[in-house]
Amino acid sequence: MSNVKAAVIFYTMGGTNYTMAQWAAKGAEEAGAEVKLLKVDELAPQSVIEANEGWKATVEKIKDIPAATSEDIEWADVIIFSMPTRFGNLPSQMKQFIDMQGGLWANGRTINKVVSGMTSAQNPHGGQEATLLSLYTSMMHWGAIIAAPGYTDPVIFGAGGNPYGTSVSVDQKGNMVEDVEAAAKHQAARTVQIAQTMKKGQQ
């Protein structure tokens, strides 16, 4: 059976979702997938980024990571998204990327992609679940297969128990409050395994 191809696509401002995406990429690789780690394009004005030292440092840190494209969506069997919450919704950078896939959607190229999402906020009730549900609403329109982690492994409870996807709280210093590395890896591996099962059934 050919390897499952996984695109791990993130947006980050302070680095949290870059780290989570790296964990997810590792989990997907360990599950046997061919993985691409990709970012979405930044939309904020350079002047705003320059005024925030943490944001500026993050942009510099991820500058060599390729930006996700429609070709990457078409290539992938699995897509794992990681992004912070913005007022209980997707950040505009991730939303624009998804909105730009109308051509793929119209031609049926997003059907049966196996997708899952991860997110972060400054507190546990800062919109984490709502952000993932917003992502999954778009994925339903895509005809994608949503692979939420549910409560499929004890590591999920250790990470805060979000059944919609791994989520983490970030303190005022930018540190993750919960330990979510194992949960992110499990979620990615589970998503790949579902895609592997689908692929096997189609052969």
pLDDT for 11 equals 98
Residue 51: CATH number of its domain: 3.40.50.360
pLDDT band at 186 (very low <50, low <70, confident <90, very high): very high
pLDDT for 2 equals 62
Residue 173 has pLDDT above 90, yes or no: no
Residue 162 has pLDDT above 50, yes or no: yes
Q: What is the pLDDT of residues 73-131, one digit of tens each?
A: 999 999 999 999 999 999 999 999 999 999 999 999 999 999 999 999 998 889 999 99
Position 76: which residue type?
A
pTM over 0.85: yes
pLDDT band at 199 (very low <50, low <70, confident <90, very high): confident
Rounded to an integer, what distance in angstroms lies between the CA atom of residue 50 and that of residue 41?
Answer: 16
pLDDT for 124 equals 84
Length of the chain in residues, anyone? 203
pLDDT for 203 equals 60
Residue 194, φ and ψ in degrees, nearest 5 = -65, -45
Position 176: which residue type?
M
Instruction: Tell me which DSSP letter residue 31 carries.
Output: T
User: Which residue did the predictor score with more confidence, 183 or 2?
Assistant: 183
Work out how many domains the chain is built from and give that number: 1
pLDDT for 1 equals 44
Which structural domain range is residue 177 located in? 5-202
Backbone φ/ψ region at 153: left (φ over 0), alpha (ψ -120 to 50), beta: beta
Q: Span 143-158, mean pLDDT?
A: 96
Residue 153: strand, helix, or coil: coil
CA–CA distances in Å: residue 133 to residues 22, 62, 75, 112: 22, 27, 24, 18
